Amino acid sequence: MSKDILVSHLCPHIIRNEKYELDSTRELITRSPISGQGFLSIKREGVSIPPSGLKTFPEIVFPSNAPYRNLNDTTFTITNYLGTPYSITIPKGILSQKQVIDTLNKSLPQTIRASAKEKSVAITEVLESGRLCSLRITGEDLRPFGFKTKSLISRGKDIFSGWKLVGRTDIGYKILFDKPITATMELDFMTSKNYCNRCGTTGVENDLRFDTAGEMVMVEGYDKLYQTVAKVCLTRVNSNPYHSWYGTNAFDLIGNKLQSATESSLRDSVSKAIGKVFDVQNQAEKIQAMTPEEKISRIRSISVDLIEEDQTTYLVSVDIISRANTTVNINILFAVPGSFDLTGV
């Protein structure tokens, strides 16, 4: 049994890693319209920007490192951005970093947490962030923890603007930032088939993909036969310097005003290309194992139909009989400026 790399897939219409240079503007209008919030990701320098924007939490860090030598019980107050005070008493003694953290967390709400900060202790507001959010520590004697004053306030910061999706005047959505932005932005987003530059609006993406184990997705049997015929038909003859026979001249035929002559030439070109593949398979099976399902037995029929009256789009339908005596149908759309197989479309 032989295998080939699967190269034809249904396109998810997800555009990835598309970059945009913004210069003091609130609007980001993508080249293909955004179809919705799904799969939408906005990054700057590899950092994801949530709709709320990038903000820091207010954090108070003890200036001194543990252990802390507390000669007397020390009481101080932590006040959040709403003005709610929380009184904390640290017992006297030589206290480790963990002891101080545990004491703080017993008295603080779940929205304010104490944690290790290298060898010191940090008190952080974990629910709200940004410049309007603050934490304050006040006490008569904060020197055991390294503070030189009786009060210290920490405020969050607004690092990067938030954003939202708004409707475009034509179709789909655009991104509107809360304030003007000057930056290079990187986007992942979903668009619609009719505007997808990933598949060229065909619905079919020709690319390599990998499975969950990191292995290339392969194709075999009838699917391999389908792909083998589709590939030779979609390749321009003489484009491969090592196998100049491989392909068709369909690309040179499209646009001929003589419809009957074009249809006949397309049929002949496809027939010759498949005949060459048939000969190659006969030679290859002498040195490698091939299943009956992947081998061509004969061409049952080739039909060519004009799709548009301007002689720029032809549908070629090929019925192949495999060595397993099963019919495999391949539909290929030859058009200006490009061509594609209609797998799954």
pLDDT category, 313, cuts 50, 70, 90? confident
pLDDT for 343 beyond 70: no
Is residue 41 within 8 Å of residue 196, measured between CB atoms? no
Q: What's the number of domains the chain is made of?
A: 3
Residue 206 covered by a domain: no
Q: Are residues 224 and 336 in the same domain?
A: yes
Q: Are residues 131 and 255 in the same domain?
A: no
Report the CATH number at residue 256. Answer: 3.10.450.40
Q: Are residues 70 and 143 in the same domain?
A: yes
Task: Read off the tokens for 137.
Answer: 């520590």
pLDDT category, 11, cuts 50, 70, 90? confident
pLDDT category, 189, cuts 50, 70, 90? very high
Q: Are residues 178 and 155 in the same domain?
A: no
pLDDT for 29 beyond 80: yes
pLDDT for 132 beyond 50: yes
- Residue 159 backbone dihedrals phi, psi, to 5 degrees: -85, -45
Residue 212 covered by a domain: no
Residue 2 covered by a domain: no
Q: Which residue has the tokens 């194709």?
A: 219
Helices (H), the chain: 97-107, 221-234, 250-253, 259-284
Mean pLDDT of 171-187: 96
Residue 72 covered by a domain: yes
Residue 205 covered by a domain: no
Q: Are residues 179 and 302 in the same domain?
A: no
Residue 208 covered by a domain: no
Residue 108 covered by a domain: yes
Task: Read off the tokens for 273.
Answer: 């290309």
pLDDT digits (tens, 9 = 90+) for 193-230: 889 988 877 777 777 778 888 888 888 898 899 899 98
Calculate the average pLDDT of the chain: 90
Residue 165 covered by a domain: yes
Q: Are residues 84 and 133 in the same domain?
A: yes
Q: Are residues 138 and 166 in the same domain?
A: no
Q: Are residues 229 and 269 in the same domain?
A: yes
160, amino acid identity:
F
pLDDT digits (tens, 9 = 90+) for 47-63: 999 999 999 999 999 99
Q: Are residues 316 and 229 in the same domain?
A: yes
- Domain coverage including residue 136: 63-159
pLDDT category, 4, cuts 50, 70, 90? confident
Is residue 24 within 8 Å of residue 180, measured between CB atoms? yes
**Residue percentage of the chain with pLDDT more than 70:** 94
Q: Are residues 265 and 284 in the same domain?
A: yes
Report the CATH number at residue 77. Answer: 2.60.40
Q: Are residues 242 and 334 in the same domain?
A: yes
**What pTM does this model have?**
0.63
Give the 3-state secondary structure percentages of the chain, helix then strand then coil, rounded to 5: 20, 40, 40
Task: Read off the tokens for 220.
Answer: 């075999």
User: Which of the listed residues 136, 159, 182 is the one where a domain comes to its end?
Assistant: 159
Q: What is the pLDDT of residue 342?
A: 53
Q: What is the pLDDT of residue 344?
A: 47
Q: What is the pLDDT of residue 338?
A: 55
pLDDT for 42 beyond 60: yes
pLDDT for 192 beyond 50: yes
Q: Are residues 48 and 165 in the same domain?
A: yes
pLDDT for 138 beyond 90: yes
What torsion do the CA atoms of 80, 85, 89, 90 make, to the nearest 10 degrees? 10
